Structure 1
Amino acid sequence: MDTCEVLLIAGRSGVGKSTAAWEASARLRAAGVAHCMIEGDTLDQIHPAPEGDPHRSAITERNLAAIWANYAALGQRRLVYCNTAAILEGPMFERAMGPGPVRIVPVLLTAGDATAAARLAGREIGSELEPHLRRSAAMARYLDRHAPPDTVRVLTDGRGAVEVARDVVAAAGW
Protein backbone atom coordinates (compact mmCIF):
# COMPACT_ATOMS: atom_id res chain seq x y z
CA MET A 1 0.00 0.00 0.00
CA ASP A 2 1.25 3.50 -0.84
CA THR A 3 2.37 5.69 2.00
CA CYS A 4 0.37 8.87 2.50
CA GLU A 5 2.27 11.96 3.58
CA VAL A 6 1.01 14.94 5.54
CA LEU A 7 2.87 18.19 6.04
CA LEU A 8 1.50 19.68 9.26
CA ILE A 9 2.03 23.44 9.57
CA ALA A 10 1.36 24.72 13.09
CA GLY A 11 2.05 27.79 15.17
CA ARG A 12 0.61 30.59 17.24
CA SER A 13 -1.93 33.05 15.86
CA GLY A 14 -0.21 35.64 13.74
CA VAL A 15 2.74 33.46 12.80
CA GLY A 16 1.71 33.06 9.15
CA LYS A 17 0.40 29.47 8.96
CA SER A 18 -2.24 30.04 6.31
CA THR A 19 0.05 32.23 4.23
CA ALA A 20 2.82 29.63 4.43
CA ALA A 21 0.44 26.82 3.48
CA TRP A 22 -0.94 28.67 0.45
CA GLU A 23 2.55 29.63 -0.66
CA ALA A 24 3.83 26.07 -0.12
CA SER A 25 0.95 24.83 -2.26
CA ALA A 26 1.84 27.32 -4.99
CA ARG A 27 5.47 26.21 -4.83
CA LEU A 28 4.45 22.55 -5.11
CA ARG A 29 2.11 23.29 -8.04
CA ALA A 30 4.90 25.12 -9.85
CA ALA A 31 7.15 22.08 -9.35
CA GLY A 32 4.45 19.70 -10.60
CA VAL A 33 4.14 17.95 -7.21
CA ALA A 34 0.72 16.37 -6.70
CA HIS A 35 -0.81 17.38 -3.38
CA CYS A 36 -3.91 18.82 -1.78
CA MET A 37 -4.31 21.40 0.96
CA ILE A 38 -6.71 21.83 3.85
CA GLU A 39 -7.02 24.88 6.09
CA GLY A 40 -7.80 23.14 9.38
CA ASP A 41 -9.92 25.97 10.76
CA THR A 42 -12.63 25.10 8.25
CA LEU A 43 -13.15 21.61 9.70
CA ASP A 44 -14.64 22.61 13.05
CA GLN A 45 -16.66 25.73 12.30
CA ILE A 46 -19.89 24.71 14.02
CA HIS A 47 -21.81 26.42 16.80
CA PRO A 48 -22.78 25.23 19.25
CA ALA A 49 -20.23 22.46 19.62
CA PRO A 50 -21.73 19.02 19.05
CA GLU A 51 -22.99 17.35 22.20
CA GLY A 52 -20.17 15.38 23.82
CA ASP A 53 -17.53 17.11 21.66
CA PRO A 54 -16.88 20.48 23.38
CA HIS A 55 -13.48 20.96 21.74
CA ARG A 56 -14.84 19.91 18.34
CA SER A 57 -12.09 17.30 17.90
CA ALA A 58 -14.45 14.50 16.84
CA ILE A 59 -16.15 16.60 14.16
CA THR A 60 -12.73 17.79 12.97
CA GLU A 61 -11.58 14.19 12.54
CA ARG A 62 -14.79 13.14 10.79
CA ASN A 63 -14.55 16.05 8.36
CA LEU A 64 -10.85 15.41 7.74
CA ALA A 65 -11.53 11.72 7.01
CA ALA A 66 -14.36 12.59 4.61
CA ILE A 67 -12.36 15.18 2.69
CA TRP A 68 -9.25 13.00 2.61
CA ALA A 69 -11.30 10.06 1.28
CA ASN A 70 -12.37 12.24 -1.65
CA TYR A 71 -8.82 13.38 -2.34
CA ALA A 72 -7.43 9.84 -1.99
CA ALA A 73 -10.07 8.54 -4.43
CA LEU A 74 -8.56 10.96 -6.95
CA GLY A 75 -5.11 9.47 -6.36
CA GLN A 76 -3.73 12.05 -3.93
CA ARG A 77 -1.08 10.85 -1.48
CA ARG A 78 0.21 14.17 -0.10
CA LEU A 79 -1.62 16.65 2.11
CA VAL A 80 -0.59 20.12 3.28
CA TYR A 81 -2.56 20.95 6.43
CA CYS A 82 -2.36 24.04 8.59
CA ASN A 83 -3.89 24.66 12.00
CA THR A 84 -2.62 26.11 15.25
CA ALA A 85 -1.96 22.81 17.06
CA ALA A 86 -1.71 20.49 14.03
CA ILE A 87 1.69 19.11 15.07
CA LEU A 88 0.09 17.65 18.21
CA GLU A 89 -2.56 15.74 16.24
CA GLY A 90 -0.48 13.02 14.55
CA PRO A 91 -2.71 10.13 15.71
CA MET A 92 -5.79 11.87 14.27
CA PHE A 93 -4.12 12.01 10.85
CA GLU A 94 -3.11 8.37 11.04
CA ARG A 95 -6.74 7.41 11.74
CA ALA A 96 -8.29 9.78 9.22
CA MET A 97 -5.86 9.04 6.38
CA GLY A 98 -5.53 5.29 6.98
CA PRO A 99 -5.51 2.45 6.47
CA GLY A 100 -1.89 2.12 5.60
CA PRO A 101 1.24 3.99 6.53
CA VAL A 102 1.09 7.76 7.04
CA ARG A 103 4.31 9.78 7.09
CA ILE A 104 3.86 12.87 9.22
CA VAL A 105 6.11 15.91 8.82
CA PRO A 106 5.51 18.35 11.70
CA VAL A 107 6.56 21.96 11.10
CA LEU A 108 6.21 24.62 13.79
CA LEU A 109 6.29 28.18 12.54
CA THR A 110 7.66 30.57 15.15
CA ALA A 111 7.53 34.32 15.61
CA GLY A 112 8.28 36.66 18.45
CA ASP A 113 5.58 38.48 20.38
CA ALA A 114 6.16 41.76 18.53
CA THR A 115 5.83 40.15 15.09
CA ALA A 116 2.69 38.22 16.04
CA ALA A 117 1.17 41.32 17.63
CA ALA A 118 1.80 43.43 14.55
CA ARG A 119 0.26 40.82 12.26
CA LEU A 120 -2.77 40.29 14.50
CA ALA A 121 -3.31 44.04 14.88
CA GLY A 122 -3.57 44.21 11.10
CA ARG A 123 -6.43 41.74 10.95
CA GLU A 124 -8.20 41.84 14.32
CA ILE A 125 -10.41 44.80 15.10
CA GLY A 126 -12.49 45.67 18.07
CA SER A 127 -12.60 43.94 21.43
CA GLU A 128 -10.96 40.67 20.41
CA LEU A 129 -7.40 41.88 19.81
CA GLU A 130 -6.13 41.86 23.41
CA PRO A 131 -7.55 38.40 24.30
CA HIS A 132 -6.22 37.08 20.99
CA LEU A 133 -2.74 38.40 21.76
CA ARG A 134 -2.76 36.69 25.16
CA ARG A 135 -3.96 33.37 23.69
CA SER A 136 -1.36 33.58 20.93
CA ALA A 137 1.51 34.07 23.40
CA ALA A 138 0.28 31.23 25.62
CA MET A 139 -0.07 28.91 22.63
CA ALA A 140 3.45 29.73 21.43
CA ARG A 141 4.82 28.58 24.79
CA TYR A 142 2.60 25.47 24.83
CA LEU A 143 3.55 24.38 21.32
CA ASP A 144 7.24 24.94 22.01
CA ARG A 145 7.05 22.69 25.09
CA HIS A 146 4.88 19.95 23.57
CA ALA A 147 6.10 19.73 19.97
CA PRO A 148 7.08 16.21 18.91
CA PRO A 149 10.85 15.64 18.93
CA ASP A 150 11.06 15.49 15.12
CA THR A 151 9.37 18.88 14.65
CA VAL A 152 11.10 21.25 12.25
CA ARG A 153 10.97 24.83 13.51
CA VAL A 154 10.81 27.63 10.94
CA LEU A 155 11.27 31.24 12.05
CA THR A 156 8.96 33.75 10.33
CA ASP A 157 10.17 37.00 11.91
CA GLY A 158 11.37 39.38 9.20
CA ARG A 159 10.91 36.79 6.45
CA GLY A 160 8.61 36.79 3.44
CA ALA A 161 6.09 34.11 2.55
CA VAL A 162 8.17 32.71 -0.31
CA GLU A 163 11.21 32.22 1.91
CA VAL A 164 9.16 30.61 4.71
CA ALA A 165 7.35 28.30 2.26
CA ARG A 166 10.68 27.21 0.78
CA ASP A 167 11.78 26.01 4.22
CA VAL A 168 8.42 24.37 4.93
CA VAL A 169 8.44 22.41 1.66
CA ALA A 170 12.10 21.47 2.19
CA ALA A 171 11.15 19.94 5.55
CA ALA A 172 8.80 17.57 3.73
CA GLY A 173 11.37 16.70 1.10
CA TRP A 174 8.77 17.00 -1.65
Structure 2
Amino acid sequence: MDHAEVLLVAGRAGVGKTTVGWEVSALLRGADVAHAVIDGDFMGQVHPAPPQDPDRARITEASLTAVWANFARHGYRRLVYTNTLSVLTETAGMFRRALGADVRIVRVLLTASDATARERLVRREIGSELERELTGSARKARLLDRHAPADTVRVATDARTVADIAREVVAATGWAGQDRPARPPA
Protein backbone atom coordinates (compact mmCIF):
# COMPACT_ATOMS: atom_id res chain seq x y z
CA MET A 1 0.00 0.00 0.00
CA ASP A 2 1.55 3.30 -1.02
CA HIS A 3 -1.20 5.65 0.17
CA ALA A 4 -2.34 6.41 3.69
CA GLU A 5 -5.58 5.33 5.32
CA VAL A 6 -7.12 6.98 8.37
CA LEU A 7 -9.84 5.73 10.66
CA LEU A 8 -11.56 8.71 12.27
CA VAL A 9 -13.31 7.79 15.52
CA ALA A 10 -15.57 10.66 16.60
CA GLY A 11 -18.40 11.27 19.03
CA ARG A 12 -19.58 13.35 21.93
CA ALA A 13 -17.68 13.56 25.20
CA GLY A 14 -18.38 10.46 27.26
CA VAL A 15 -19.01 8.17 24.31
CA GLY A 16 -15.72 6.28 24.73
CA LYS A 17 -13.60 7.44 21.78
CA THR A 18 -10.23 7.13 23.47
CA THR A 19 -11.04 3.79 25.09
CA VAL A 20 -12.43 2.39 21.83
CA GLY A 21 -9.41 3.74 19.93
CA TRP A 22 -7.04 1.82 22.20
CA GLU A 23 -9.15 -1.34 21.87
CA VAL A 24 -9.17 -0.94 18.08
CA SER A 25 -5.38 -0.77 18.28
CA ALA A 26 -5.32 -3.93 20.41
CA LEU A 27 -7.45 -5.77 17.83
CA LEU A 28 -5.24 -4.56 14.98
CA ARG A 29 -2.12 -5.63 16.88
CA GLY A 30 -3.73 -9.02 17.41
CA ALA A 31 -4.28 -9.29 13.65
CA ASP A 32 -0.70 -8.03 13.06
CA VAL A 33 -1.93 -4.95 11.15
CA ALA A 34 0.66 -2.16 11.14
CA HIS A 35 -0.85 1.13 12.32
CA ALA A 36 -0.34 4.25 14.41
CA VAL A 37 -2.70 5.85 16.95
CA ILE A 38 -3.19 9.56 17.64
CA ASP A 39 -5.58 11.08 20.15
CA GLY A 40 -6.47 14.30 18.37
CA ASP A 41 -7.31 16.02 21.65
CA PHE A 42 -3.59 16.51 22.21
CA MET A 43 -2.72 17.91 18.78
CA GLY A 44 -3.88 21.46 19.53
CA GLN A 45 -3.86 21.60 23.32
CA VAL A 46 -2.45 25.08 23.96
CA HIS A 47 -3.61 28.01 26.06
CA PRO A 48 -4.31 30.67 25.17
CA ALA A 49 -5.21 30.04 21.55
CA PRO A 50 -3.07 32.15 19.25
CA PRO A 51 -4.91 35.28 18.02
CA GLN A 52 -4.42 34.19 14.39
CA ASP A 53 -5.71 30.66 15.19
CA PRO A 54 -8.61 31.04 17.67
CA ASP A 55 -10.01 27.53 17.14
CA ARG A 56 -6.47 26.03 17.13
CA ALA A 57 -7.06 24.46 13.70
CA ARG A 58 -3.66 25.51 12.33
CA ILE A 59 -1.80 24.24 15.37
CA THR A 60 -3.73 20.95 15.22
CA GLU A 61 -2.97 20.50 11.53
CA ALA A 62 0.72 21.38 11.95
CA SER A 63 1.01 18.93 14.85
CA LEU A 64 -0.77 16.16 12.92
CA THR A 65 1.39 16.80 9.86
CA ALA A 66 4.62 16.59 11.88
CA VAL A 67 3.64 13.47 13.83
CA TRP A 68 2.29 11.70 10.73
CA ALA A 69 5.46 12.56 8.76
CA ASN A 70 7.46 10.75 11.43
CA PHE A 71 5.18 7.70 11.31
CA ALA A 72 5.16 7.66 7.48
CA ARG A 73 8.95 7.97 7.38
CA HIS A 74 9.01 4.70 9.32
CA GLY A 75 6.66 2.99 6.87
CA TYR A 76 3.28 3.32 8.56
CA ARG A 77 0.28 3.85 6.27
CA ARG A 78 -2.69 3.34 8.61
CA LEU A 79 -3.75 5.76 11.32
CA VAL A 80 -6.39 5.48 14.03
CA TYR A 81 -7.34 9.07 14.98
CA THR A 82 -9.77 9.85 17.78
CA ASN A 83 -11.33 13.29 18.19
CA THR A 84 -14.82 14.59 18.91
CA LEU A 85 -15.58 16.30 15.58
CA SER A 86 -13.07 14.55 13.31
CA VAL A 87 -15.69 12.97 11.03
CA LEU A 88 -17.11 16.30 9.87
CA THR A 89 -16.61 17.15 6.20
CA GLU A 90 -14.54 20.25 6.95
CA THR A 91 -11.80 18.14 8.56
CA ALA A 92 -11.19 16.10 5.39
CA GLY A 93 -8.92 18.80 3.98
CA MET A 94 -6.71 18.67 7.06
CA PHE A 95 -6.24 14.91 6.69
CA ARG A 96 -5.55 15.21 2.96
CA ARG A 97 -2.92 17.88 3.55
CA ALA A 98 -1.33 16.01 6.48
CA LEU A 99 -1.51 12.41 5.18
CA GLY A 100 -1.59 12.92 1.41
CA ALA A 101 -4.17 13.86 -1.20
CA ASP A 102 -5.07 10.22 -1.89
CA VAL A 103 -5.70 9.28 1.76
CA ARG A 104 -8.59 6.86 2.27
CA ILE A 105 -10.81 8.21 5.04
CA VAL A 106 -13.04 5.88 7.09
CA ARG A 107 -15.44 7.78 9.34
CA VAL A 108 -16.98 6.21 12.45
CA LEU A 109 -19.29 8.12 14.77
CA LEU A 110 -19.74 6.60 18.21
CA THR A 111 -23.12 7.44 19.72
CA ALA A 112 -24.53 7.29 23.23
CA SER A 113 -27.69 8.46 24.91
CA ASP A 114 -27.59 11.54 27.13
CA ALA A 115 -27.95 9.28 30.18
CA THR A 116 -25.05 7.04 29.16
CA ALA A 117 -22.77 9.98 28.34
CA ARG A 118 -23.65 11.66 31.63
CA GLU A 119 -22.95 8.49 33.63
CA ARG A 120 -19.54 8.10 31.98
CA LEU A 121 -18.62 11.76 32.35
CA VAL A 122 -19.56 11.81 36.03
CA ARG A 123 -17.09 8.95 36.57
CA ARG A 124 -14.38 10.55 34.42
CA GLU A 125 -14.54 14.24 35.28
CA ILE A 126 -13.41 14.35 38.89
CA GLY A 127 -12.03 17.89 38.62
CA SER A 128 -13.73 21.19 37.83
CA GLU A 129 -14.81 20.46 34.25
CA LEU A 130 -17.94 18.29 34.68
CA GLU A 131 -20.62 20.89 33.89
CA ARG A 132 -18.66 22.23 30.92
CA GLU A 133 -18.18 18.70 29.57
CA LEU A 134 -21.87 17.79 30.02
CA THR A 135 -23.04 20.92 28.22
CA GLY A 136 -20.51 20.55 25.42
CA SER A 137 -21.23 16.86 25.03
CA ALA A 138 -24.94 17.42 24.44
CA ARG A 139 -24.29 20.28 22.00
CA LYS A 140 -21.71 18.30 20.01
CA ALA A 141 -23.93 15.20 19.91
CA ARG A 142 -26.62 17.25 18.16
CA LEU A 143 -24.09 18.83 15.81
CA LEU A 144 -22.60 15.45 14.88
CA ASP A 145 -26.03 13.88 14.40
CA ARG A 146 -26.99 16.62 11.95
CA HIS A 147 -23.71 17.11 10.11
CA ALA A 148 -21.85 13.80 9.92
CA PRO A 149 -21.40 12.90 6.23
CA ALA A 150 -23.59 10.18 4.74
CA ASP A 151 -20.65 7.74 4.51
CA THR A 152 -20.12 7.86 8.28
CA VAL A 153 -20.64 4.53 10.05
CA ARG A 154 -22.64 5.09 13.25
CA VAL A 155 -21.88 2.76 16.12
CA ALA A 156 -24.05 2.80 19.25
CA THR A 157 -22.14 2.36 22.51
CA ASP A 158 -24.97 2.16 25.07
CA ALA A 159 -24.89 -1.07 27.13
CA ARG A 160 -22.10 -2.61 25.03
CA THR A 161 -18.62 -3.78 25.88
CA VAL A 162 -15.61 -1.89 24.58
CA ALA A 163 -14.40 -5.04 22.79
CA ASP A 164 -17.74 -5.44 20.98
CA ILE A 165 -17.74 -1.79 19.89
CA ALA A 166 -14.12 -1.99 18.71
CA ARG A 167 -14.83 -5.11 16.62
CA GLU A 168 -17.59 -3.20 14.81
CA VAL A 169 -15.28 -0.24 14.27
CA VAL A 170 -12.45 -2.41 12.90
CA ALA A 171 -14.93 -4.14 10.57
CA ALA A 172 -15.76 -0.74 9.06
CA THR A 173 -12.11 -0.33 7.99
CA GLY A 174 -11.65 -3.71 6.33
CA TRP A 175 -8.06 -3.60 7.57
CA ALA A 176 -8.01 -6.91 9.42
CA GLY A 177 -9.26 -8.83 6.38
CA GLN A 178 -7.19 -7.20 3.62
CA ASP A 179 -3.92 -8.33 2.17
CA ARG A 180 -1.44 -6.14 4.00
CA PRO A 181 2.11 -6.11 5.14
CA ALA A 182 2.24 -7.25 8.75
CA ARG A 183 5.08 -4.85 9.51
CA PRO A 184 6.05 -1.51 8.03
CA PRO A 185 9.18 -1.55 5.89
CA ALA A 186 12.44 -1.27 7.83
Question: 1:24 aligned to 2:33?
Answer: no
Question: 1:75 aligned to 2:75?
Answer: yes
Q: Structure 2 CA distance, aligned partners of 1:40 and 1:157?
A: 23
How far off is 1:126 after superposition?
4.8
How far off is 1:80 after superposition?
0.2
> Counterpart in 1 of 2:4?
4
Runs of 4+ in 1 over 2 A off after TM superposition: 125-128
Which digits, 9 at most, give the CA deviation of each residue in 1:36-82, with x for residues without a partner? 00000110111111230010000000000000000000011100000
Give the aligned length: 173
> Counterpart in 1 of 2:144?
143
Specify the SS of the correspondent of 1:7. Answer: strand
In the TM superposition, 1:4-153 aligns within 5 A as 4-88=4-88, 89-98=91-100, 100-153=101-154
Structure 1: 5+ residue stretches without partners: none
Q: Structure 2 CA distance, aligned partners of 1:38 and 1:101?
A: 20
Give the TM-score normalised by the residue count of structure 2: 0.90
Which digits, 9 at most, give the CA deviation of each residue in 1:98-155, with x for residues without a partner? 1x41000000000000000000000113543223212101100100100011000000
Does structure 2 retain, via aligned residues, the 8 Å contact 1:5–1:77? yes
Give the TM-score normalised by the residue count of structure 1: 0.96
Does structure 2 retain, via aligned residues, the 8 Å contact 1:2–1:101? no
